[in-house]
Amino acid sequence: MKPVKVLYFALICSAMILLLNLNAYGQAKVTKEGFGKTPDGQDADIYTLTNSGGAEVKITNYGGIVTSLRVPDRNGKLDDIVLGFDNLDAYLKGHPYFGAIIGRYGNRIAKGRFTLHGVEYKLAVNNGENHLHGGTKGFDKVVWNAKPRKVANGAALELTYLNKDGEEGYPGNLSVKVVYTLTNANELKIDYSATTDKDTVVNLTHHSYFNLAGQGNGDILNHRLFVNAARFTPTDAGSIPTGELRSVRGTPFDFTRATTIGARINQDYEQLRLGKGYDHNFVLNGKIGTLRRVARVSESTSGRAMEVWTTEPGMQLYSGNFLDGTLTGKDGKVYQQRYGFCLETQHYPDSPNKPKFPTTVLRKGDRYHTITIYKFSVRGAKID
């Protein structure tokens, strides 16, 4: 080849590489579409956050629900890895907290009662004799104010809600802000903050059901899980912690070495019988308030992995035990038992009635602030 031809060839190659890159690495962005009206006439919207690599999360301001989350597998193929629906009506009909923001108190409060400064508060009772996930109309069923937020490293959506004094029985007007960011490093970051005008209790979490092989594509029993927790909180038959912080050593709750979720789930162990599988809070190692890696999950067929980072002291592992095939989600997929798992970062259940657990009291004048990050990556080389 003549030198001039070599030069042309090199120029054409560089131009093609540049075009391919521009195509693959766009700008992070947020777009908005209508999602319908709630029965009381409020508008629900759906926001699509896309990062520079093309990963995408859809979030509706109804319940702050993540309705879909598309991240690459080891070949770069995007799949939706959370359970959910593609229309508002299905969410309105009722569902087990798919993808939602949970509050004012995530998880259970025994008998729906607690005492603060000598006053007993009575909350909605919606789970047997107990209070679960904020009550009959928790944060998962309210319409949040939403606005896209400019961030340097991805696409972000800010959700705010004023939770009035007395709603579901809780004291104090609680002003809540949740910022979801899909970073360019394929992290779904959730930043929760709140202030109150009267001392109260707060425990916010997120309730996505993950299946790293793709939503609706079978159960999650072969996902390998590592949890950085030396102890967990055993419960009674109503899933209320007994108060004991039990060592995981020698129990089916020891995930300090990565183990599949299904390996021990059917063992004859009282806590697994009571929970119908895993539905328990882990006492996370490390310091409350420090953002640290607390869990890692991987799925071998897709090569996807997910790390969980949090500032919280606890995390509920729920293995989708109550899914039973009665709900049909996106793409007509039927959600059978254990088709999704949740890792709900939080304070321990029933903390308002357990003085020895880290406190969930938020005082007037103080600011509640926690961060949780679900970070996605792949194992194994990309095959082109």
Cβ atoms within 10 Å, residue 173? 16
Buried b vs exposed e over 311-328: b needs ≥16 C-beta within 10 Å? bbbbbbbbbbbebeeebe
Q: Smaller CB distance to ligand GLA: residue 70 or 108?
A: 108
| Active site annotation includes 344 | yes
Angle value at C-alpha 73, between 15 and 20, nearest 5 degrees? 5
**Touching ligand GLA, residues 37-76 (CB under 6 A):** none
Give, as ranges, the residues between 79 and 98 that touch ligand GLA (CB under 6 A).
Answer: 96-97
Closest CA to 302 of 382, 368, 366: 382
Interface of this chain with ligand GLA, residues 194 to 253, rule: CB under 6 A: 239
Nearer to ligand GLA, 96 or 262 (CB): 96
Supply the minimum distance, in Å, between the C-beta of residue 353 and ligand GLA: 17
Q: Could you confirm whether 131 is annotated as catalytic?
A: no
With CB atoms as reference, the residue minimizing the distance to ligand GLA is 96
Other beta carbons less than 10 A from residue 9's beta carbon = 11
Please tell me whether residue 312 binds ligand GLA under the rule CB under 6 A: no
What is the three-class DSSP state of 296? strand
Q: How far is the CB of 239 from ligand GLA (least distance, A)?
A: 6
Kindly state whether residue 322 participates in binding ligand GLA, applying the rule CB under 6 A. yes
Q: How far is the CB of 95 from ligand GLA (least distance, A)?
A: 9
Residue 269 CB, nearest approach to ligand GLA (Å)? 17
47 versus 209: smaller Cβ distance to ligand GLA: 209
- In the shown chain, the binding pattern of residues 123 to 162 toward ligand GLA, with x for contact by CB under 6 A and - for none, equals ---------x------------------------------
Following CA atoms 292, 295, 300, 304 in sequence, which dihedral angle do they give, to the nearest 10 degrees? -50
- Could you tell me which stretch among 28-36, 170-178, 252-260, 315-323 binds ligand GLA (CB under 6 A)? 315-323
Residues 255-294 that bind ligand GLA (CB under 6 A): 279
Distance set, CA 46 to CA 64, 93, 99 (Å): 10, 18, 13
The catalytic residue among 95, 207, 223, 280 is 207
Q: Which range in 11-19, 46-54, 247-255, 314-322 contacts ligand GLA by CB under 6 A?
A: 314-322
CA distance 204 to 232: 19
Do residues 187 and 375 lie in contact, with contact meaning Cβ atoms separated by under 8 Å? yes
Looking up tokens 């009635």 gives: 353
Site for ligand GLA in 339-358 (CB under 6 A): 342, 344
C-alpha distance from residue 360 to each of 116, 161, 290, 314, 316 (Å): 11, 19, 16, 12, 16
316 contributes a contact to ligand GLA by CB under 6 A: yes
Task: State which of residues 114, 255, 318, 374 lies at the interface with ligand GLA (CB under 6 A).
Answer: 318
Shortest Cβ 40–ligand GLA spacing (Å): 24
Binding range to ligand GLA, per CB under 6 A, among 136-144, 153-161, 194-202, 316-324:
316-324
In angstroms, the CA 270 to CA 221 distance is 20
Contact 206, 102 (CB under 8 A): yes
Which position among 56, 167, 312, 344 bears the catalytic label?
344
User: Cis before residue 104, ω within 30 degrees of 0?
Assistant: yes
Distance CA 306, CA 377 (A): 6
| SS3 call for 53 | coil
Tell me how far, at minimum, the Cβ of 96 lies from ligand GLA, in Å. Answer: 3
Shortest Å distance, C-beta 206 to ligand GLA: 11
Residue owning tokens 């070495």? 257
**Which positions are annotated as active-site residues?**
207, 344
Residues at the contact surface with ligand GLA, assessed by CB under 6 A: 96-97, 132, 239, 279, 316, 318, 322, 342, 344
